[in-house]
Chains A and B, each alone.
Chain A
Amino acid sequence: MTELLRADQLTRHFKIGNALSRRTLHAVDDVSFTIGEREIVALAGESGSGKSTIARLLARIYSPTSGTITFAGRDVKTFRSRKDHLRYSSEVPMVFQDPFASINPVFRVSHGVLRSLKLHRPELSGAERQAEAARVFEVVGLKPDMLQRFPYELSGGQRQRVGFAQALAMKPKLILADEPVSMLDVSIRIGLLNLMAKLRDSEGVSILYITHDIASARYVADRLIVMYAGQIAEQGPIEDVLSAPKHPYTQLLLSAVPDPKAPLSDVADRGEPPRVVDPTPGCRFRWRCPLAIDTCQTVTPVLADLATGHEVACHVAQSGAEVTAFLKDAS
């Protein structure tokens, strides 16, 4: 799998509080992962996990406190000219979560697509731009006559497709999809998930699919990265991670997912948000983990390979012991 994007020890801190009590919010700490060509990588986690921050770091809305992002072999920090920035914007576009806020309500829905084409493919003439806009609309499943509609005339699902069309118009290599379906009705989500799979298969685009819904991640993604409190807890091929989760947090997440077909599992955890403000060294999951040992209190676990490509950041798992904290009885 050719590597497309690589994040190395990506870190992003925010200063919060006022002059009297300066504190640091560790949104993302030491995160490393790669995304290859033609693959969908799911980045899953709950609120406070740092997944949205990662998206914005990769989209270069934020700049990292430390760590590097390498795209197509080049460190993004070395981009200086407007041409470099523009090319990165076109190769790594972003699709946003809220279909009602991510399109400018004043213009027709063709506006974003045409602007993307004008900025990133200046070799096209006006007529060619219109034709290309119609083409990307068809690829995402919208009728080309919808180009003339205003956003309020479209449903949420249709607007999200417009978002993907805007991204596609730029001939991207990697689309950053920040929870693209969480605000859509359940019956509409599948349509968009199928669209994402189609973009990977027939357009050859990679997608970083950020979500809190593991079931939808399983439906489209090839690999899964589970984040907790700004760090990666577990990552690997999605079937491996889901069928044999090694990190207690992953197991907790899986057992809490509502599944009508399986009996209800006993989950004692209340779901309190993680502590990411001025965290002390040690595993950030230790307060909720029934398996926490002494090392967990003082040494922050690092990702280690437990099987091919399947990495876990957990002292107990790495010591070889069976992690059965939150496993469902039936499987």
Chain B
Amino acid sequence: MAAPYVSTTPPAEPPAGTPIEAAPIPSRGQSGNALARIWRAIRSNRKAAVGSAIMVVFIFVALFPGLIAHDDPEQDNYAPKMGISTAHLFGTNQYGQDLFSQIVHGTREVLLIAVLVGLATTAIAVLVGVAGAYLGGLWDNALGVITDVLLVIPLFPLLIVIVAYAHATSVWVMIVAITIPSWSYTARQLRSQALTLRSRDFLEAARVRGERRLYIIVVEVIPTMTSLIVASFLTNALYAVLFSSSLQFIGLGNSSSVSWGETLYWAQNNAALQTGQPLWAIAPGACVALLGTGFALLNYAFDEIGNPALRPVRRHRRSGRRSRARAA
């Protein structure tokens, strides 16, 4: 038995008679399939272009490490402590391992963590946030309490505790451990946006049409939140990169796996900067920073593409300089 949705807030009386009839925008330049639109958006926005370029490079490296670095990252029979050379682009560390191939092969694990944590945390955040906003009442309170508890506890110390307790021996443990507390941040944001959508006429129209509540949440609400969901994914992926590398750096990762954080760990353990092997520490650190920048740029770009009000406007500074108009 489906009870009709009963609202308890009085309707707001809209202002009388402000006409907002707008000229119809012809379809030129706006239609075309999704890929064409994405390509156009990337070309027109500098941040999107740079961010995408960075991501494409890293994805390629993660997928085909063997094509780029021919050496085995774990082989340790090269001459140790060598500087940059054509044979070893980043030199070797004091164990005789080729640093370039360590970085290249480590990309895969970093990206895997970033993408999977991003997807998992976003999925949970969407579920919790939107369900809480739309179901309201007791459900909203219960989900809110869980979210708030996780928000209040400082994230990195919590991660240390979880990972240390779990004795991270595989990348999957790292992924799950980082996912557990991280979803709470974006859950709050998504809940706020879902709340503002709740009173939109088209949702009321769907309700009056007789749609079931689950249908409305999944088909009518969530698609209108795509830009926030994508932003949530990018943010969570970015933080996953930073947190996983940090956890590995302080020794809580799996020290026999190949990853940027692990390389940093070994570099730190062997006082790389002091013993004349600066690239051992700098290279992985720079990669973390670069990948993070890529995610961040894409995030900004998405915001700007989705919300034209945020796009940078050519400014004509008026105070102190005449504006360009002259009498015709």
A47 to B13, CA, bound (A): 6
Enumerate A84-135 residues with CB–CB distance to B below 8 Å.
Answer: 85-86, 89-90, 93-94, 96-107, 112, 115-116, 119-120
Contact A184 B14 (CB under 8 A): no
Q: Is the CB of A104 within 8 A of B220?
A: yes
Q: Please tell me which one of the listed residues A99, A102, A212 contacts residue B16 in the complex, with CB atoms under 8 A apart.
A: A212
Q: Which residues of B contact A85 (CB under 8 A)?
A: 2, 4, 210
Report whether B208 and A89 are in contact in the complex, using a CB–CB cutoff of 8 Å.
yes
Closest residue on chain A to residue B5 by CB atoms: A61
Contact with B along A45-56 (1 / 0, CB 8 A): 011100011001
B210 touches A89 (CB 8 A): yes
Q: B6 at interface (Cβ–Cβ under 8 A)?
A: yes
Instruction: Establish whether residues B19 and A186, one from each chain, have CB atoms under 8 Å apart when the complex forms.
Output: yes
Known contacts A47-B13, A106-B223, A182-B16; decide if A96 and B24 are in contact (CB<8 Å).
Answer: no
Residues on the A chain within 8 Å of B223, using CB? 104, 106-107
Chain A residues lying within 8 Å of B211, measured Cβ to Cβ, are 115, 119
CB-based nearest B residue for A276? B10
Q: Does A14 contact B (CB under 8 A)?
A: yes
Interface size range of chain B in the complex: 35 or more
Chain B hits for A152, CB < 8 A: 25, 30
Judge whether A184 and B21 touch: CB under 8 Å.
Answer: yes
C-alpha gap A99/B220 in the complex (Å): 17
Taking a contact as CB atoms under 8 Å apart, the answer to whether A101 and B208 are in contact is no
In the bound complex, do residue A81 and residue B1 qualify as a contact, i.e. CB atoms below 8 Å apart?
A: yes
Size bin of chain A's contact surface: 35 or more
Contact with A along B274-285 (1 / 0, CB 8 A): 000000000000
* Chain B CB within 8 A of A325 CB: no
From A100, which residue of chain B is reached at the shortest CB distance? B20
Q: Is B204 an interface residue (CB 8 A)?
A: yes
Q: Is the CB of A119 within 8 A of B16?
A: no
A14 touches B200 (CB 8 A): no
The CB with the most chain B CB atoms within 10 A, among A46, A106, A120, A149, is that of: A106
Contact between chains at A62 and B6 (CB < 8 Å) = yes
For residue A259, CB closer than 8 A to chain B, the reply is: no
Interface bits B1-34 vs A (CB < 8 Å: 1, else 0): 1101111111101101111111111110010000
Task: Chain B residues near A104: list those with CB within 8 A.
Answer: 202, 206, 220, 223-224
Query: Within 8 Å of chain B (Cβ to Cβ): is A16?
Result: yes
| CB-defined contacts of B19 to chain A, threshold 8 Å | 156, 182-186
**Cα–Cα, bound, A157→B13 (Å):** 21
With CB as the reference atom, state the residue of chain A lying closest to B203.
A104
A68 → B minimal CB distance (Å): 16
A155 to B24, CA, bound (A): 5
Q: Which residues of chain A in 136-164 are interfacial with respect to chain B, using CB atoms and an 8 Å cutoff?
A: 149, 152-158, 163
- The reply to whether A63 and B4 contact each other, CB–CB distance below 8 Å, is yes
Q: How far is the CB of A246 from chain B (nearest CB, A)?
A: 25
Residues of chain A within 8 A of B24, CB atoms compared: 153-155, 158
Given contacts A85-B210, A104-B220, A112-B209, contact A47 B16 (CB under 8 A): yes
Cα–Cα, bound, A185→B24 (Å): 14
Would you call B210 and A120 a contact (CB within 8 A)? yes
Q: A90-B210, A119-B211, A156-B19 are in contact. Are A98 and B6 (CB under 8 A)?
A: no
Which of A52, A94, A153 is close to B205, meaning CB atoms less than 8 Å apart?
A: A94
> Separation in Å of the A115 CB from the closest CB of chain B?
7
Q: Which of B2, B10, B21, B209 contacts A82 (CB 8 A)?
A: B2
Q: Are B25 and A119 in touch, CB under 8 angstroms?
A: no
What is the chain B residue whose CB lies nearest that of A103?
B202
A195 at the interface (CB under 8 A from B): no
Is B10's CB under 8 angstroms from A14's CB?
yes
Closest B-chain residue to A116, C-beta based?
B209
Q: How far is the CB of B195 from chain A (nearest CB, A)?
A: 16
Q: Does A213 contact B (CB under 8 A)?
A: yes
Chain A residues whose CB sits within 8 angstroms of the CB of B27 once the complex forms: 149, 153
> Is B213 positioned at the interface, with any CB of A under 8 Å from its CB?
no
Nearest CB of chain B from residue A98's CB, rounded to whole Å: 6
Question: Bound complex: CA of A106 vs CA of B206, how far in Å?
Answer: 14
Contact assessment for A183 and B2 in the assembled complex, using a CB-CB cutoff below 8 Å: no
CA distance A155 to B21 in the complex (A): 6
Q: Which 9 pairs from chain A and chain B are nearest by CB?
A: A89-B210, A156-B21, A102-B201, A185-B21, A47-B13, A101-B201, A14-B10, A106-B223, A104-B202
A-B contact pairs, 12 of them (CB 8 A): A63-B6, A96-B201, A102-B201, A104-B224, A105-B202, A115-B206, A115-B211, A119-B210, A179-B14, A182-B19, A183-B18, A185-B21
Taking A47-B16, A106-B223, A166-B205 as given, write out 13 further A-B residue pairs in contact, using a Cβ cutoff of 8 Å, ordered by the A residue number.
A48-B13, A52-B11, A62-B6, A96-B201, A98-B14, A99-B20, A104-B220, A104-B224, A112-B205, A119-B211, A182-B16, A182-B17, A183-B18
